Every structure is written in C-alpha cells, then in structure tokens.
Structure 1
Amino acid sequence: MSNPPLNQPAPDFSGVSDDGKPVSLSALRGQWVVLYFYPKANSYGCSIEAQKFEAKLPEFEKYGAQVIGISTDSQGGQAAFREKCHLSYPLLPDPDQTICKAYGVMGGLTSLMGVSNRASFVVDPAGTLVYELRSMLHTVHVPGALAELKKRGAARA
C-alpha cells in the first residue's frame, strides 16, 4: 500500500453507496470531488466530522464539488450512520479495503504501519489528485478541502 502521488491521476474506484446507488470516480469526471476517509461510522469523532461536511455542503456545492465519505463499514452500517447524522451526500462502504488501499489509507479503527485511517483528498475535474490531508484530527478536513477548492478557483461549471 502506497500513497497515490499528487498531480497524477487519482485512483479510480467504483462501488455501491449506502443507499444502493452506483458511485465511481470516473463517472464524476468533469466536476471536483472531495473524498474523505473515516475510521468508524457512528463513532464520536466520525459523527462530528460527517456533520461538519454536511453543514458545509452548500459551500462545497458552490465550488461544484461532490463530497463522498468512505469507510470500511458495511452498507447497513453506513445507512444507519447517514440516518443518525442526517447526511445527504453518498457514503461508500469499503469492507474489503480496496479503495482505502488504493489511497494509502488503512480502514477501520486500527492504524497499522503508521498509516492514518482519516484522510481527505480533492480530485480536480480532469481526474487528477490535487490535494491530500492525512490527520486523525476530525476538525481539519472540512476547512482544508474548502481552502484547497478556493485556492484553485474551483467554481460551478
């Protein structure tokens, strides 16, 4: 498992969100995408972080960005998390850690080999990975991603 390089194509993925809809990075080409990986649905820090992304969703939308939350929780666990936190953006279950490994993020509550299991990434409309933040602090990912979008002049197409 290695970190994907910045300014290179973001690792593509596809899956089914907690509400049963297909989600793939390639299908989102043409718009900004904010991916955030979190350790465990319904945990205290992850709930706060998810709700902060939801609260700032109008700002992400202003920049034309789709937010996607990813964890190793099951589809049912993700659905319960969405309901509890009143989330409107897709949550993508990654129980086999395929997406986590592609982004160099170890899933679950345990962080192995010094790899953070809380990270956020910004992918530009061309599919290039332009930003990453790896920190277990749940308070830094929303402002970090928004600052990157603002810095890059992201705007609704």
Structure 2
Amino acid sequence: MSEVTLGKAIPKFSAESTDGVVDNARLKGKWTVLYFYPKDNTPGCTTQAQNFRDQINEFAALDCQIIGVSRDSIKSHGNFIDKQSLPFPLISDPEETLCELFGVMKLKNMYGKQVRGIERSTFLINPKGILVQEWRGLKVPGHVDQVLQTVKDAA
C-alpha cells in the first residue's frame, strides 16, 4: 500500500545510494525525479536510464535532480553507472522499504509465473518536498520526454 499522496509531502525516509544517503533533506530546494525500475542491466531499464542520462542537462537547467531506485545492490548499481556513464545516483532498496513507501511492488507475470517485482514508476517531487506528479506502470518509449515537459511546465 502506497504511503505517498499527490499534493502531500513525501513521508520521511532515508536510503543508501551510490552517492551516499538520500533522504528528505536532500530533496528539499530542488525538483526531484525519483524513478523506480525493476533491475540493472536489463533492456528496458537500461534504455530508461540512458534516456535520463541523455537529457540530464535539460533537467539540470530546471534545477531538477534525477535519482533511480531498484532492489539491486550498491555494487550492481556502481557497475551499471560505470557501464552506462550515468550522471545521477541510484538507490539500493533490497529490503523494499522505499518501494513499499511508494507502493511500486506488484505481482507480475514472468514466463507464465507470478513474481513480485517493481512496477516501473516515476514520481516528481517539488522543491518543498511535495509529490506533484506520478506515473505508474509506464512504458519506456517517450516517458523521459513526458517527465521533462512536466518539469518545464511546473518549474
């Protein structure tokens, strides 16, 4: 069950990332795109990360930071960042604490079996720490452009 609500402040959290601890204080004062993805180095997740990477300057010009989240380890994230030249941190959430907070854990069908995994989702948080937009169960093509346009319209 999600604890985040549009128009409300993000609940307090603290999570380990490839760039140190990420918490509410780190989100204050700038726009934040927090995106949840299933797994490092898989086709859709790699494309999504590359799309954010390729538009990082446009997001930065709007004072917007990008932060990715999956259940992968910090070591896996580090390898993914190095391989894809990602200019933003990735949060490791193996205990699914942040995933549960944002309500992104879902039952999915993989090769005919039900598995529990992260539903690809993106959240836009304003400089005051308020959730202003969410995209759940999204498709990768065109998504980053949509997020960038939303930030442009809101900033």
| TM-score of the aligned structures, taking structure 1 as reference length | 0.87
| Structure 1 position 72 matched with structure 2 position 71 | yes
Q: Aligned-pair distance for 1:88?
A: 1.2
**Secondary structure of 1:36's match?**
strand
Deviation at residue 93 of structure 1 after TM alignment: 0.5
Return 5+ residue gaps in structure 2 as ranges. none
- The alpha carbon displacement at 1:140 in A equals 3.8
Secondary structure of the structure 2 residue equivalent to 1:9: coil
Alignment partner of 2:32: what SS? strand
Aligned to 2:33: 34
Determine helix, strand or coil for the equivalent of 1:82.
helix
Root mean square deviation, CA, Å: 2.5
Deviation per residue, 1:24-78 (Å, 9 max, x gap)? 1322211111100000001011001001000000010011001000001111111
SS in 2 for 1:51: helix
What is the 5 A alignment of 1:144-155?
Answer: 144-152=146-154, 154=155
Q: Identify if the C-alpha distance between structure 1 residues 8 and 143 changes in structure 2 by more than 3 Å, giving closer, same or farther.
A: same
Residue of structure 2 equivalent to 1:92 = 91
The share of aligned pairs that are identical, in percent, is: 38
Query: Structure 1, residues 102-137: CA drift from partner, whole Å, max 9, x if none?
Result: 001117977979986100011001110000001241
Please give the secondary structure, in 1, of the residue aligned with 2:105.
coil
Preserved CA contact (<8 Å) 1:104 1:115: no
- Trace 1:124-139 onto structure 2 (pairs within 5 A): 124-139=126-141
Q: Measured at CA, do residues 65 and 108 of structure 1 come closer, stay the same or move farther in structure 2, by a change above 3 Å?
A: farther
Runs (4+) of structure 1 exceeding 4 A deviation are: 107-116
Residue in structure 1 matching 2:119, options 92, 117, 120: 117
Aligned pair count?
A: 152
Contact 2:106 2:116 in 1 (8 A): no
